[in-house]
A and B are shown apart, each in its own frame.
Chain A
Amino acid sequence: MEPSKREPYTFEVPVGYVEGMRVPGVVFATDELFARARQDRAVDQVANVATLPGIVGASFAMPDIHWGYGFPIGGVAATDVEAGGVVSPGGVGFDIGCGVRLLRSDLEFERDVRPRLRELVGRLARRIPAGPGGRGLLPLDRTGIQQVLAGGVRYPLSRGVGWEEDAALCEDEGTVPDVRLEQVSDRARERGAPQLGSLGGGNHFLEVQVVDEIRDQRAAQAMGLFPGQVCVMIHTGSRGLGHQACTDHLRTLDRLMPRLGIKLPDRQLACLPVAHEAAQAYLGAMRASANFALANRHVLTDGLRAAFAEVFGRSARELGLHLIYDVSHNQAKLEEHEVDGRRRTLCVHRKGATRAFGPGHPDVPERYREVGQPVLVPGSMGTASYVLVGHQESARRSFASTCHGAGRAMSRTEAKRGIRGTQLLRELERDGIVVAAKNPKALGEEAPNAYKDAGVVVEACEGAGLSRVVARMRPAGTVKG
């Protein structure tokens, strides 16, 4: 039983490809991206996810698909809650609530920023904590962490950090509801408390970008985007708090699952029915961790606004540094979708995939409702990033999901063999991109050729009816851990 191309940009992995599949797998990809996904066994993981109890529709994967642990990266799976469908922490990932936000500005790159780019990146690097460990901009005490877990961005706002209007431009308006605070362990709190307002390491970054192409004028206008404009993108998540929270609950579900007779082809897919107390406990902790991630990006935004104000001698408001939107690409959400002609409550897992509501959806902020929910897609280091909007057909095609990034194309070891971090830094400088990296030696892992071409990924998403491209941004200056 072999996968086959069903229509342009859509491949089907038939039931029976692996034993126990309850639904087919559907991979949105170009021919080349699909071939790569087969080669690195990510398609096998799509099929494994299709064995989850209660899964409906299909086990989906976005064009940036690659081999993950349990779920493929780029994986989307929805389970029917009322029919005993499960939640699987591996379908969210350890970096709970990891996501991206984009700010626009009134600055034009050539006129305003290029002459001072090195100074700006240097100031951002000094202001923005990056790299493993280290203290964030707003370290928390016991009360503070409790309030962040409960309220997301509300806590830093209560401390006078950030702009009130940013909350409405985040998923869940900056506060994920239905948390279970007692389900976030002391260890998770201990790891996270010093880290609020920090980037972390790996592929997390803060980047000054330049809009170099507008493809959807109407949507760009709604977002305040124009050619040559300076924007700032942040990619980070829930840091050690989320990592520990997932570790804690994955362990519990892993131990309980056999007692319910659930057998899966990969232990990392450990799951329980959403209605089970331990699953509810996990979901409550996951939501609290997602609040930490939202607050993290919110606090970092305050830091970057301060850096810009210092360099340009005007307030961030005068510079027009407004938030466009904030998305998460590692989360499970209870959403209503139509399945077989009936509205059902589904637990939609997105693991390295972004929610992409289409035009008219009530959860899309009013200013974007006519054009669709913004989706922010970072490219790999030194390459273009993209702003998309959710497609009208996305709910029908993929439970309103689209890609999250470029997706890795090779292992970190192989990437480092190809180029040393210091050499990569020199090449980026030659291309006019200023990079401030806490650990330059590790940069080789993040070389552009270690990733797929984000441009190809977003075109495939558009071709598949998941999202539409609004604008492309090229990197100008990057702060990395």
Chain B
Amino acid sequence: MSARAGFEFLEHTADVGIRSFGASVEEVFEQATRGLAEIIGAWRWDPGAEIEAGDEVPVAVDADPGDLAGLLVDWLSEVLYLHEVRDAAFGGVRVERVGGGRAEGTVTLVPAGPGGFEGTPVKAVTYHRLKVGPGPDGWVAEVYLDI
């Protein structure tokens, strides 16, 4: 993870947005994934900590070439689907490649733990005010979630 990588939440009256940033578009997708997981209360890994064994699940989504923003919605929607049907938390995410209309990587699914998910359930990923593109210091994405 680069020093430039991270995310922050964007205020919204009823829902919530994520602004993620990073040195590469792959990193921006990773940080958006982490933001989504944090909202749900499903992120289970801190840098440097021992990660418990989990299930590394491949994720691959396709969109129209050149539509990075649509690809981000598809990626996060896929992650959300996995969380819900597997009732799983996330022990990590690695986005290997974003380009040519495809995003590929893995998410590590781990048990939720005794506390369950103490965040806010997310219903879906929206296209509202969606952006992915070069930023002042690398790449930036903004995406809003329906909660």
Contact = CB atoms under 8 A, between A and B. Distances in A.
A429 B16 CA distance: 29
A414 B121 contact: no
Contact of B126 (A132, A187, A268, A411): A268
A439 to B, nearest CB: 6
B14 A68 contact: yes
A191 interface: yes
Contacts of A411: 11-14, 16
B119 A442 contact: yes
Contacts of A190: 85
B51 interface: no
Contacts of A67: 12-14
Interface of B: 9, 11-16, 40, 64, 69-70, 73-74, 77, 81, 84-85, 87, 116-121, 123-130, 144, 146-147
Interface residues of A, number: 46
A247 B125 contact: yes
A69 B11 contact: no
A66 interface: yes
A205 interface: no
Those 5 A-B pairs whose CB atoms lie nearest each other, nearest first: A69-B128, A267-B127, A132-B121, A94-B124, A201-B121
A268 B13 contact: no
Contacts of A95: 123, 146
Contacts of B129: 266
B127 A40 contact: no
A77 interface: no
A221 B93 CA distance: 58
B124 A243 contact: yes
A187 B13 CA distance: 29
Given A132-B40, A190-B85, A267-B127, 15 more contacts: A69-B127, A69-B146, A73-B14, A90-B126, A131-B121, A191-B85, A200-B121, A202-B123, A246-B124, A266-B128, A266-B129, A410-B13, A411-B14, A414-B11, A442-B120
A225 to B, nearest CB: 30
Contact of A413 (B16, B124, B125): B16
Contacts, number: 107
B128 A254 contact: no
Contact of A412 (B16, B123, B130): B16
Contacts of A244: 81, 124
Q: Among B73, B119, B121, B130, find the residue whose CB has the most chain A CB atoms closer than 10 A.
A: B121
A266 B124 CA distance: 17
B11 A413 contact: yes
Given A132-B117, A190-B85, A247 B77 contact: yes
A250 B127 contact: yes
Contact of A201 (B69, B120, B124): B120
Contacts of A133: 84, 87, 117
Given A244-B81, A267-B128, A411-B11, A251 B74 contact: yes
Interface string A393-416: 000000000000000111111100
24 contacts: A42-B13, A67-B12, A68-B14, A69-B126, A69-B144, A70-B127, A73-B14, A95-B123, A131-B116, A133-B84, A187-B81, A190-B85, A202-B120, A251-B70, A266-B127, A267-B127, A268-B126, A268-B128, A411-B16, A412-B147, A441-B118, A442-B120, A445-B120, A481-B121
